[in-house]
Amino acid sequence: MSPAAITGGSGGTLRFFESTIFKKAVMASTGAILFGFVTAHLLGNLQIFVGQDRLNEYAAMLKSNAEILWGARSILLFCVVAHIVSTIQLLRVNRQARPVAYAKKNNSHSTLASRTMYYSGPTIAAFVVYHLLHFTTGTLHPEFSQADVYSNIILGFQRWPVAIAYIVAVGLLCMHLSHGVSSMFQSLGFSHPQHTPRIRRFARTVGILYFAGFASIPVAVITGILRAPIVHL
């Protein structure tokens, strides 16, 4: 094979990795993995309604498998970074393609979720950092217990500012998720006039159901449905 052919091949590979198609594929694939994590996280959190023992046993099971836990965390961290980087790169490509803004932008065919994707993402990322410091490491939780995850959640959400911030954050997350799921199918090539409306309805339904699931926990704490266990001396 000639040097020119080799150069051309490597140049073509480089152009592919710099292409918009590749960036969208990275965003879609990492988004799919993060969507899977959010689903698993929600199902795990909802075990709080089964009872204190069930949730604490589930948390202990996760912590007992340190290799799997840290492996999953490493993959998630990589996906978050790759998702953010590809998003920023696509945003720059879009701005370079249209350096002059619309005189009057028509939003009739867009949704609130799609229009706020680039803004909800950083807000969600900031909240995730706070959420980890609050419920995972306990750095920002004054009554944190390594063994009693149930009480951590109850005592944490009994503070109204924390509960409200959580509800707002999961609202943004589910809006982001709603548009992201729809865009994910399109980026992966599942785009058809007959199926696209169904995919969008599915994505909206997912966003609503996931918001209801996540928000139900702080709401249940605030309303007294979920309460901290009584310690008998």
Among 5-9, 98-102, 113-117, 144-148, the least confident range:
5-9
92 within domain boundaries: yes
Residue-range definition of the domain harbouring residue 141: 8-98+110-222
89 within domain boundaries: yes
pLDDT tens profile 158-198: 999 999 999 999 999 998 888 878 777 766 666 666 767 88
The angle at the Cα of 106, spanning 104 to 107, to the nearest 5 degrees, equals 135
93 within domain boundaries: yes
For the chain, the domain total comes to 1
156 within domain boundaries: yes
232 within domain boundaries: no
Nearest to 136 by CA among 67, 53, 73, 196: 73
Nearest to 135 by CA among 143, 9, 106, 65: 143
CATH number, domain with residue 187: 1.20.1300
| pLDDT confidence bin for 232, thresholds 50/70/90 | very low
10 Å CB burial of residue 130 (0-12, 13-18, 19+) is middle
Q: Which two tokens stand for residue 9?
A: 């091949």
For the chain, the average pLDDT equals 82
pTM for the model stands at: 0.80
Chain CA centroid to CA 223, Å: 27
**DSSP one-letter code for 228:** P
**Identity of the amino acid at 231:** V
Average pLDDT score over residue span 19-45 = 89
pLDDT tens profile 113-142: 555 666 677 788 888 899 999 999 999 998
**Helix residue spans in the chain (DSSP H):** 3-17, 20-45, 52-64, 66-97, 112-115, 117-131, 149-157, 160-187, 196-222
206 within domain boundaries: yes
**Angle at which helices 20-45 and 3-17 cross, to 10°:** 40
